[in-house]
């Protein structure tokens, strides 16, 4: 099975049949996918690989609104992925590799490769404007390991999702499972959704996935998975999200971090993590600049949802005409899917873990968030997952709960505004947190509940912000005489009429 081309049964493929195939894979020794490439492809540079383009006229037409294009192997995309089209009736059809499908660019002009080369992945296109079915735009990419990217109408690609994460943040090297085969199911004409079935394999895990995707504003994905461990897994990340954060509102972020000599005020694909549980919703601004990678854990029993979001939506915050960071989507994970309203299953007990890697390179994804279930993950204990994935733009956003006001900015500076010292005293730091959302516009008597895991929060003051309809919190943090190892966590939420009215701001000092 894995390690060779996937063999197809005589009839249509189904998620249930794929689950049985994954169980059989997990019961057998792992056989890695081959990554042998012709020398011309193995030695490609980044620019040489980028020059390879699929010919749009060769797109696989799936119905009147959907089509697919394919990715060539080469450079870092070494592993072969088997691709099939599942017709509305009958057995699946393999998608054969042919060199003519691609413009190979000047470096490979005239080259020819065998049909056994196969593909690295694929992307789906959709007519967001249904009145113009030929004006299709790319909205979903499966490329590399178990990574995939999803965007909504008017958005740019940003963060990635993954099928599974194994060992993220542990001392041993992380394991990256691969999607070894995909079956793209042809939808009926006029259908707004498309289904992709995928087979995952790795030394520790095999699994079957069903992605039911409805592109739009927002784009939504319903994911079902049947996971079969081959061996015990110390840390399994479910519904993992991977993003980039270099610098943002709080400058380089961590204490003592070196600043960035950059004309752009902010550089990131996501600026915070949201975790929702039955009693609270938490916002953790992302941080860069630590001396070593950091894992933070947020207990969620049961988890109601989590996501990496891009809350800063103004061009002036980034000033990057090409990257358009303000148009990058967030992704919101909801166990069971909102329309399903089902049980949490493996999401019932555990924690959302946030892994932040120090980075000064914007082309490196240095942020990972995933739900890590409590309890053993071992052979003979399969996991059945069901969750929804929704692209998030400006908030309040469809598909994401909105009963609480949200944190929209965190700014940090010296608290010595009237009589500043030079350099500013590190013993007095002012945090300014802005909130927007339900119950704030025109409200009065709003206060803040604040706390710190070390040091003291001094003189919290709240006031309305007429320009936005929100409220602002000013609070000074005074560090302890001796700083503890690791992060100091500062927390705050707004209170109105004796009740919590905002999510919890949970920041690293």
* Contact between residue 301 and residue 335 where contact means Cβ atoms under 8 Å apart: no
Question: Bridge partners of 433?
Answer: 410, 473
**Does the reported pTM lie above 0.75?**
yes
In contact, 428 and 478? CB cutoff 8 Å: yes
Residue-level pLDDT at 234: 96
**Strand 236-243 to 165-166 pairing:** antiparallel
Neighbours of 162 (CB within 10 A): 23
- The pLDDT profile of the chain, 509 residues, written as one tens digit per residue, is 445 566 665 678 999 999 999 999 999 999 998 889 999 999 999 999 999 999 999 999 999 999 999 999 999 999 999 999 999 999 999 999 999 999 999 999 999 999 999 999 999 999 999 889 889 999 999 999 999 999 999 999 999 999 999 999 999 999 999 999 999 999 999 999 999 999 999 999 999 999 999 999 999 999 999 999 999 999 999 999 999 999 998 777 777 788 888 999 999 999 999 999 988 999 999 999 998 999 999 999 999 999 999 999 999 999 999 999 999 999 999 998 544 444 568 999 999 999 999 999 999 999 999 999 998 899 999 999 999 999 999 999 988 888 899 999 999 989 987 778 888 888 899 999 999 999 898 899 999 999 999 999 999 999 999 999 999 999 999 999 999 988 999 999 999 999 999 999 999 99
Measured CA distances, 375 to 227, 233, 351 (Å): 15, 10, 11
Start-end of H helices in 169-295: none
- How far apart, in whole angstroms, are the C-alpha atoms of residue 421 and residue 230? 60
Q: What is the pLDDT of residue 1?
A: 44
Q: In the prediction, which pLDDT does 403 show?
A: 86
Cα dihedral 55/138/207/176 (nearest 10): 80
Give the C-alpha separation, 222 to 198, whole Å: 13
- Residue 9 confidence (pLDDT): 58
């Amino acid at each position: 099975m894995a390690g060779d081309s996937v063999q197809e049964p005589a009839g249509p493929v189904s998620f249930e049949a794929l689950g049985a195939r994954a169980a059989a894979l997990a019961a057998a020794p792992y056989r890695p996918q081959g990554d042998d490439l012709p020398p011309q492809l193995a030695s490609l540079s980044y620019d040489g690989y980028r020059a390879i383009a699929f010919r749009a006229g060769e797109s696989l037409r799936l119905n009147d609104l959907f089509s697919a294009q394919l990715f060539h192997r080469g450079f870092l995309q070494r592993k072969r992925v088997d691709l099939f089209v599942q017709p509305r009736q009958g057995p699946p059809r393999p998608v054969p590799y042919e060199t003519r499908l691609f413009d190979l660019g000047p470096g490979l002009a005239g080259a020819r490769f065998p049909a056994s080369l196969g593909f690295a992945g694929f992307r789906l296109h959709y007519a967001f404007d249904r009145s113009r079915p030929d004006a299709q735009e790319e909205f979903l990419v499966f490329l590399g390991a178990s990574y995939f990217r999803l965007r909504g109408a008017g958005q740019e690609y940003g963060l990635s999702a993954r099928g599974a994460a194994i060992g993220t943040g542990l001392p041993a090297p992380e394991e990256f499972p691969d999607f070894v085969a995909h079956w793209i199911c042809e939808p009926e004409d006029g259908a707004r959704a498309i289904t992709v079935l995928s087979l995952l394999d790795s030394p520790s895990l095999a699994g079957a996935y069903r992605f039911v995707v409805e592109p739009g504003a927002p784009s939504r994905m319903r994911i079902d998975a049947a996971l079969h461990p081959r061996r015990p897994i110390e840390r399994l990340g479910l519904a993992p999200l991977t993003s980039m954060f270099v610098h943002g509102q709080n400058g380089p972020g961590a204490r003592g971090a070196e600043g960035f000599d950059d004309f752009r005020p902010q550089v990131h694909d996501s600026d915070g993590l949201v975790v929702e549980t039955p009693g609270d919703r938490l916002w953790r601004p992302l941080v860069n600049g630590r001396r070593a990678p950091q894992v933070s854990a947020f207990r969620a029993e049961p988890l109601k949802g989590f996501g990496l979001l891009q809350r800063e939506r103004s061009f002036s915050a980034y000033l990057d005409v090409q990257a358009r960071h303000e148009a990058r989507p967030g992704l919101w994970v909801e166990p069971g899917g909102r329309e399903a309203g089902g049980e949490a299953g493996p999401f019932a007990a555990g924690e959302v873990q946030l892994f932040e890697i120090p980075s000064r390179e914007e082309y490196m994804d240095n942020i990972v968030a995933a739900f890590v279930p409590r309890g053993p993950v071992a052979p003979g204990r399969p996991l059945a997952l069901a969750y929804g994935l929704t692209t998030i733009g400006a908030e309040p956003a469809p598909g994401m709960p909105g009963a609480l006001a949200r944190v929209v900015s965190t700014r940090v500076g010296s608290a010595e505004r009237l009589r500043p010292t030079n350099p500013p005293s590190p013993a007095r730091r002012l945090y300014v947190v802005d909130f927007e959302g339900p119950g704030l516009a025109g409200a009065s008597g709003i206060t803040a509940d604040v706390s710190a895991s070390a040091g003291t929060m001094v003189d919290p003051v709240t006031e309305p912000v007429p320009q936005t309809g929100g409220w602002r919190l000013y609070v000074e943090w005074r560090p302890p005489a001796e700083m503890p190892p690791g992060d100091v966590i500062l927390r705050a939420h707004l209170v109105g009429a004796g009740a919590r009215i905002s999510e919890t701001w949970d920041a690293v000092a």
